[in-house]
Amino acid sequence: MRTELSFAPLAEIETELLAVLAADTQTDKASDAQPAPALLTADPAVQAVVAAVLSSGEFKAAANETLLLHAPAGLKAKRLLIVGLGKQAKVTVNAVRSAVGVAVRFTKPRGIRALALSLPDLPHVAAARSVRSAIEGAFVGDFDPDTYRSDRKDKSVQAFTLAVAATANKSDIQTAFKEGVILGESQNFTRTLVNEPGNKLTPTTLGQRAAEMAAEVGLGWEIHSTEKIRELKMGAFWSVAQGSEEPPALIVLRYEPTGITDGPVLGLVGKGITFDSGGISLKPGTDMDKMKYDMAGGAVMIGAMRAIALLKPRVRVLAVICATENMPDGKAQKPGDVQTAMPLTADKPGKTIEIINTDAEGRLVLADGITYARQLGATHLIDAATLTGACVVALGHVTAGAFSNDDETYAKFNAALSTSGEKFWRLPLGDEYAELIKSDIGDIKNTGGRWGGAITAAEFLKVFAEETPWIHLDIAGLAWVEDSRPYIAKGPSGVAVRSVVEWVRSY
């Protein structure tokens, strides 16, 4: 999608469709109080066009509500679209992001390939923040998952113009615009990876896609496979990979800004299970097709590294993605097996893991990924994974789970959410939960029973983070959008890319 900024009056913008946002300014809380819709632009030409329809009561400016006007008098745009934001007092940059997605998705099935959108005038929100959110929303709205349809007709928006008042600070606006493009494209890059079927995106192919991206944006990269995994004694990672005919991939990406030789090194670790059958502990057949998305955590870190390379924060960052399939081959590991995880140093033995359930494989690959990131020099860690159904039971498909062993590190992530607009909720850790993963035959076991499953999985990972400040993101409930919404298509969401990037930038 081609994007551009415009500081021209709205009446002068020639486009197939001009979108403007509106909010309900009604403050009376009485049950019979009627909505009071108002445009969030002072442009007199647009105000004149919509005055009658706003006063008619036909349009109430509810969140994601739309109204299309053809051949608007006094405008060079062929159509005028009004998109509602809901109650004005509750409007945030997140609402702006969604509303822009609504505008883009409104145009797609109608054959409209170019649109302009007027940046809303929100007195309580800095214009630059709205600009970035608007651009992100446009890219998110433009993505569709129908890649392999034989009759696919490309309905993507080819040109998107963001119209900003001429009085705005142009330098700040242009910076925010560029950031929005980088983040929107990087989130969609992640979604493209997650959308790929398991037979098309094998671990090897995922490594190739990561390497191509790294070369394009200037990241350092290494892609390893079986020999390196065995050399590093990554017994937990290999235990999952050994049941598949497809070789695993150990993906390492590095961002090293010029002149930065000290300070923190941020380690991004992602679960890259390109297809998860459950292994010997085979999953039910229902919805198993979705298990192509079990590499979403790894894709998040690849997409985040793309954005980091282009945004150029002044901090060193490395990413480790452990990619493999989890399959029930004759060589696959079995419940009751004991595996030895990667040692941090040659003089320190790796932790032994009793395998209770082979479908708890994500924590196994993350265990070695976390250890390797530490070995490579990471001083702070964040991992992302579609790790547990238990997290979805706890938080539904609305909020993702987060865990941390360090309050200061988590505070930076929590602060980042106000910019990213993504929803995470911190869940507890504690000795009582750690007791549940103690093994009678080895050091730990890979499941802690039915109750508190998201927490015991996090406790498992904490064993390998040790004292290194660490955050774990369980995105199982949000990585896949179950039903299309007005602002985003059904399918991969790319959740956590923006939050991880903002966390990195906080350093």
Q: 216-256: per-residue pLDDT in tens?
A: 999 999 999 999 999 999 999 999 999 999 999 999 999 99
Closest to 394 measured CA to CA, from 370, 419, 424, 374: 424
Residue 124's pLDDT is what?
85
Residue 84's pLDDT is what?
98
Q: For the chain, give the mean pLDDT.
A: 97
Residue 1's pLDDT is what?
95
> If you ran DSSP here, which 8-state letter would residue 506 be given?
T
- Alpha carbon dihedral 3, 308, 192, 488, in 10-degree steps, equals -60
Percent over 90 (pLDDT), the chain? 95
Phi, psi of 218 (to 5 degrees): 90, 25
Cα gap 330→307, rounded to integer Å: 41
Confidence of residue 213 (pLDDT cuts 50, 70, 90): very high
Phi, psi of 428 (to 5 degrees): -80, 160
Q: Span 478-492, mean pLDDT?
A: 97
The residue assigned the tokens 């890979």 is 446
Residue 75's pLDDT is what?
97
pLDDT digits 0-9 by tens, 419-435:
999 999 999 999 999 99
Domains of the chain: 2-166 (3.40.220.10), 190-505 (3.40.630.10)
The residue assigned the tokens 């996090």 is 458
Contact of 18 with 118, CB cutoff 8 Å: yes
Residue 141's pLDDT is what?
98
Q: Where are the alpha helices (DSSP H) in 313-439?
A: 362-375, 389-395, 407-420, 431-435
63 Cβ contact partners less than 8 Å away, ≥ 6 residues apart: 84, 85, 86, 95, 98, 99
Task: Kindly tell me the sign of the dihedral angle through the C-alpha atoms of 363, 493, 1, 128.
Answer: negative
State the DSSP string of 277-305.
--TTSPPPSTTGGGGGGGGHHHHHHHHHH
Contact of 333 with 240, CB cutoff 8 Å: yes
Q: Which pair of tokens denotes residue 109?
A: 């099935």
The residue assigned the tokens 């070695």 is 368
Q: Which of 30-39, 81-90, 248-257, 404-413 has the lowest mean pLDDT?
A: 30-39
Residue 123's pLDDT is what?
85
Cα gap 339→365, rounded to integer Å: 12
Contact of 166 with 120, CB cutoff 8 Å: no
Is 167 a residue whose pLDDT tops 90? no
Residue 488 β-bridge partners: 485
Cα gap 94→187, rounded to integer Å: 16
Residue 30's pLDDT is what?
81
CA distances from 266 to 16, 30, 314 (A): 45, 51, 11
> If you ran DSSP here, which 8-state letter would residue 236 be given?
H
> If you ran DSSP here, which 8-state letter would residue 485 be given?
B
SS3 (DSSP) at 207: helix
Q: Span 274-299, mean pLDDT?
A: 97
Confidence of residue 29 (pLDDT cuts 50, 70, 90): confident
152 vs 444: which has the higher pLDDT = 444
Contact of 221 with 254, CB cutoff 8 Å: yes
| Amino acid found at 400 | A
Is 154 a residue whose pLDDT tops 90? no
Is 31 a residue whose pLDDT tops 80? no
Residue 153's pLDDT is what?
78
Contact of 262 with 378, CB cutoff 8 Å: no
Helices (H) and strands (E) in the chain, counts: 14, 20
Confidence of residue 32 (pLDDT cuts 50, 70, 90): confident
Beta-sheet pairing, 352-354 with 444-445: parallel
Closest to 43 measured CA to CA, from 1, 12, 67, 85: 12
Cα gap 318→376, rounded to integer Å: 8
Report the catalytic residues.
283, 363
Is 507 a residue whose pLDDT tops 90? yes
Residue 277's pLDDT is what?
98
The residue assigned the tokens 């995470």 is 424
Phi, psi of 222 (to 5 degrees): -145, 135
Residue 155's pLDDT is what?
83
Q: Span 390-416, mean pLDDT?
A: 98
Return the ∠ at Cα 484 (arms to 483 and 488), rounded to 5°: 130
Closest to 274 measured CA to CA, from 247, 254, 252, 253: 247
HSE of 24, CA atoms in CB hemisphere, 13 A: 21
320: burial class by Cβ within 10 Å (0-12, 13-18, 19+)? buried
State the DSSP string of 421-462.
---EEE----HHHHHTTB-SSSSEES---STTHHHHHHHHHH
Residue 166's pLDDT is what?
87
Is 193 a residue whose pLDDT tops 90? yes
CA distances from 233 to 271, 338, 369 (A): 18, 14, 12
Task: Kindly tell me the sign of the dihedral angle through the C-alpha atoms of 36, 42, 46, 51.
Answer: positive
pLDDT digits 0-9 by tens, 106-134:
999 999 999 999 999 998 889 999 999 99
Contact of 303 with 494, CB cutoff 8 Å: yes
pLDDT digits 0-9 by tens, 359-373:
999 999 999 999 999
Residue 152's pLDDT is what?
82
138 vs 33: which has the higher pLDDT = 138
